[in-house]
Every structure is written in C-alpha cells, then in structure tokens.
Structure 1
C-alpha cells in the first residue's frame, strides 16, 4: 500500500454556476436564456446545491473526503457594481461553517468563469479597469469571510481562452483533435454570428465587445486576466494574510512525436510558461488536467483511432496528471494543489480506474520529492457542463434532476476509501 503525506487533502470540486441554480445576475444566465443560444439548455435550478449544500457537504464527509473546492458567485455577491448583497455573504458564510462542522477543508475559488452582467456591460475581461473591480470584490469577500478560508484560488483556469481559441480553429479545419477542457457546443458554432447580435442587444454593447470570460481573447485581454490575479492576490494578503493564495491553470500533458519537439515546446510556452512571471509570488499552484496533447512535425496530432475517448472527446489518459506535475514543478518552486482532475463517462468503472491510475502518478511524484497539497476530483456531482448542458457526467455523485435526489456512485466510495486510509 502506497501512503500519502499526513494532512494530504482529499476532495472534490464544483463551480457555483454549474451546481447552485438560478444564478440570474450572471452573464451566463443571460446567455443561456437568449433566443438562438448556443447553450444546449439553460442551467435553471442546476443541481440545487444553493439550497442543498448542507446535505452535499455532509455526504462528502460520510464518503470520507476531507476537502471541498467550490466557488463563490461574484454575480450574487455584487449584483450591481459597488452594491454588495449581505444575504449572499451570509449564505457563503453558512457554506464555510458547514465545512467546518464536518471537518472539511474549504478551498475557495473567487471567479469560476461566470461574471456579473454589469461587468460585461463595462468591457468585461478586455477592460483595463477589470483587475481593480475584481480586487475590490475580493477585498469585500475576504473582509467578510477570510477567517474561514485557508486556501483561495483567485481565478479558475486563467489561461482557458488559449485552449478555446485552438479548439475553435481546429473546428474550422474539421480535424479530429482533442476536445476542450470546458464544455463548448461546437455543433452550434455556425449560428454564432446571429447569437452575438442577440448578445449585443442583451448587454447593450457592440457584438464585438461582449467580453465574457470564455469569449475569444486578445493578447491585451489575456494580460487583463493575469493582472486581475495579481491585484486580487495583493488585496487578499492585505485583508487575510493567513490565507494561502493561488490561481488555477488548465494544462494538457503536452507531448511530442518524432519531429514534433519544437511544436510541443511552443505549446508549453503559449499555454503555461508565458504566465510564470505572474505566479512567482503565489503560495501554491492550482493544477487542472484531464488528458494529453501530442504534437508532430505539422502540429497537433489527432487522437489515435483506437484510443478510448471520453464524453468530452478527450483521450482517456490518466497518466497525464503526473507528467504535468513534473513539468510544472520544473518552473514553479511552490506546492501544487491538484484542483481538478477527472473524466466524463457513464461507465463508472472507468472513473474508478482513472482515479487509480492518476493517483499512482501523483504518489510517484510525491515519492520523488514533489510537494503536492491535495487532490480535488472533478467533480463532486454530475452538473451543468456549460454550453453542453447536463449531458456530460463527471460526478462522484449522480443527481436525478427531476427529483434532485443524490446517489453516490461506486467511484465516490472508492475515492472516499482512499482518503480514509490516505493510501492507494
């Protein structure tokens, strides 16, 4: 039996918009409910986690998990610029206190893709003013809640727009390449022009200026996101110096076939290395990985025809996680928190196998001296996968959305048993 370090955090992750439901002040809520939306369906009540969070956290503890990564919804807390909702702060305080009650360590994400509608109307994630607005929100949250937050991730997958841009380009070329690590509805991409006209009307800005977090991004906009991280980190440390601060990035295990070494090197530079300077002062790094990407002499190679694939169109390749830990650790001398790793499948036996193979790589990294704080599986529950709706199932817990009844899957008990013995 291979043991993990004492105090290792074992948990699962969620994102507020994907699980809470009725997030009516967010940009995503508006986008989902427009006529001609590219979303397969609206989030609606999602999996009702906003109401049922206590039973969900209790279930995590019962399973054997000791950590929970979840996000606070900026659009709930600051529904209009400069106006903070005390009831929503009280709600998230209840979530944090419930974690404390069940001895679950909270890992809080302050922005997980969805934003207040007012932010988009003011330029969104291309505006040079957004970092200050985000830092102001973070200051308010940490002033109210910081004493119960030991770990905070400022922004989820700050580099995700790079992957989205590549996915859209591959879609245009009709190549059978890896899917995105976020739910994008490529079947509806053809109607985007009309959709952006509707978005323009809804947000009251020109069609080319609807800058939500997952929208195509300029180089300046990409810098805005990382500047927002830096500004938030400084604000958090002033208010809550005991809280450990990091950011999460979406990273493939970038590999090369013969002749593809230079292309793989360029991919690492684009998706990770260019951002290292923004992260050097962080307390930890949030690593999110689901699969690999293999480059040949002509660029990204398609997934092999005989490879097992997931519901997201990714290659089933749990060994990617350990490889990315090793690569990141060469360039960032800080602890790593695995904030997302998982697989979309209806075959839960494949999820169990994925967990085992991924954790074997994690344990080998720890044995070789790499500092890893914990493993957060994506996700706690089957939930709303953005543009793809509720069709993709990542959860350790199944949810019957007609009744909102929860059922722990064998994979949930499996990960919980690993957590209880702190060993694989």
Structure 2
C-alpha cells in the first residue's frame, strides 16, 4: 500500500518517487535503527510492479502472473538504492529487498526453455540480479510453476495443492536460495517468507520439514544463508483471498481474539530451540 497522496501525484511513476522514498526512510530511521540488524527496503518489488500493471491482487498467483510495469520496476530499484544510502548512515545495519521467487521451470517441449527465460526474467530473476552489492537478498518462496512454449501452466491434475491453489512443493525455499545466490553474485540470502496455507496441520509440518532440509542442503553447498522466517506466526488476512488460506502456526478466534498454538507451532519451536533438524525417514 502507498499513501493516497502518493498515488494521486503519480505513484511510482512520478519523477520524484525515489526522492520521496529516501525522505520516508530518513523519517523511519530513528525507529528502525534501534536494536535492528536487518532492514528490508521494499517487500516483493516484483509483485508491486505486477500490481502496478493493473492486475487485481486476487489474481496474483504463481500460475499466470501478469505483465509487470517496467517503468515502476525501475523506479522501485532507484528507490531501493536511495533508501539503502540513507540506511548506511547506521553502522552495522544491513539492508536489502525481498523477492517473491517463483521457481519457473521449462517443460520438455520445443521452445519452452526460451519462453521460460523470457517469462521469468522480468517477473523474478531481474530483481535478484539487481540485489548485487546489497547486504542481503530476501527470498520468499512457496511453490513451483512449469512453463510451456505458450506460457505458464496450471498445476497438473492429481498433484497435491494448498489452499491458495499452489502445488505442495517443499523444495521451493532451497531453489529460491540457490537462484538468488547465483543471480546476485553471491549476496547473502535470508529466507524472509516460507510456509503453506493448509487446514491439515500435519501437512504444514511435512512441508516445513522438507523446506528446512532443503535449506540445510544449500548451506552445505556453500551458500551463505543468514536465517529463516516462517510465514506465518498467526493465521492472517490474505489480501488476495481473505481469511480462508490459513498459513499460521497459531490459530485465532476472530470474535474473542483467543490464540491457539497448533501442533506445528510446538514442532517448529522444538526445531528452533534445538537449532537443529532430524532428517525425515525418507532420507
């Protein structure tokens, strides 16, 4: 979201957008500089650029992503860089932006590889490339999408899907890490979002177990992984689809606001306290 006056005066297409964002960072600096080590300048700029193309948020899923507004993408990058200049005034403060990685994969058909590169670059890869020189790059990963010569394809019939309609794909985080690491020229990676929308908490545990195992593999491969942030602590209101997709480790009552930790919260807490993970028996 942006202030109404910002949208009225030209949005990210305004010539002074980067100047205004730098000023915003200056005003926020006294707050974020107190006991904070990592600062995200802009969350999911690739999604923001696609929304700026006129797409409704409810249609923003991995399958069938809209065309981004490239002018807005450039403005977001300029704003990100100006914001980092301001944040660099605080010794030791690390800054970067977070990318919604999509794990686009070409099917084995003529023309699919070229279509995947063309489709994925402006929606994903470019943003990781532009993170070169940053203190870190955030990866926000949930699923994978296959691309044919005609474009992205829906999830194949018979595969398990989540409440958002995405394929159940625990390796998404590891794949996003590897991609961001290579495209950025080995900028340290932080998993800033990863999780699953499901009403079956056993599948949440299975998904997160698989995701963490994959992340551990990337660390063993030599990738500098700074941390993992699970999405999300509580079931939340998803801007694209309301309250139906439950991502949380903790349920809550919308009338009383009572919070009820799920089994996945206790499992995840155990992993955090142990600072380690026991591999699943399948391995």
Q: Residues 366 and 251 from structure 1, CA distance in 2 versus in 1: closer, same or farther, beyond 3 angstroms?
A: same
Match of 1:279 among 111, 125, 131: 131
Asked if 2 retains the 8 angstrom alpha-carbon contact of 1:126 and 1:217, the reply is no
Q: Which one of the candidate residues 17, 20, 23 is aligned to 1:136? A: 23
Q: After superposition, what is the alpha-carbon deviation per residue over 1:161-189, rounded to whole angstroms, capped at 9, x for unaligned?
A: 455589959x9xxxxxx9616xxxxxxxx
Displacement of 1:366 in angstroms is 0.6
Q: Does 1:232 align with 2:83?
A: yes
Runs of 4+ in structure 1 displaced over 6 angstroms?
none
Larger RCO, structures 1/2 (Cα 8 Å, 6+ apart): 1
Are 2:10 and 1:123 aligned?
A: yes
> What is the SS of the residue equivalent to 2:34?
helix
Match of 1:103 in 2: none
Cα displacement (A) at 1:298? 2.4
CA contact (8 A) 2:102 2:176 kept: yes
CA distance in 1, matches of 2:167, 2:52: 19
How far the C-alpha of 1:265 sits from its partner, in A, is: 1.9
Match of 1:291 among 138, 143, 156: 143
Distance 1:324 1:167, change over 3 A: farther
Counterparts of residues 36-185 of structure 1 (less than 5 Å): 114-161=1-48, 180=61
Q: What TM-score, normalized by structure 1, do the two folds share?
A: 0.60
Give the conservation status (yes or no) of the 8 Å contact 1:131–1:227: yes
Select 2:152's aligned residue among 279, 300, 304.
300
Report which of the two structures shows the higher radius of gyration computed on alpha carbons: 1
Matched, 1:368 2:218: no
Q: 1:130 to 1:168 in 2, by over 3 A?
A: closer
The answer to whether the 8 Å contact 1:308/1:315 transfers is: yes
Q: 1:229 to 1:218 in 2, by over 3 A?
A: same
For the aligned residue pairs, the C-alpha RMSD in angstroms reads 2.6
Inter-partner Cα distance in structure 1 for 2:105 and 2:53: 16
Aligned-pair CA distance for 1:357: 0.7
User: Cα–Cα, structure 1 residues 381 and 415, in superposed 2: closer, same or farther, change >3 Å?
Assistant: same
Are 2:107 and 1:257 equivalent residues in the alignment? Answer: yes
With over 3 angstroms needed to count, the CA separation of the structure-2 counterparts of 1:140 and 1:163, relative to structure 1, is closer
Q: Which among 189, 192, 209 is matched to residue 339 of structure 1?
A: 192
* Alpha-carbon distance in 2 for matches of 1:162, 1:301: 22
Instruction: Judge conservation of contact 2:104–2:147 (CA < 8 Å) in 1.
Output: yes
Structure 1: which 5+ runs fail to align?
A: 1-113, 172-177, 182-214
Name the counterpart of 1:354: 207
Structure 2 portions without partners, runs of 5+: 278-283
| Match of residue 118 from structure 2 | 266
The count of aligned residue pairs is 272
Find out whether 1:325 has 2:177 as its counterpart: yes
- Look up the match of 2:166: 314
Counterpart CA distance in 2 for 1:150 and 1:161 is 25
Q: Give the C-alpha shift of residue 281 in structure 1.
A: 2.2
- Alignment TM-score, normalising by the size of structure 2: 0.88
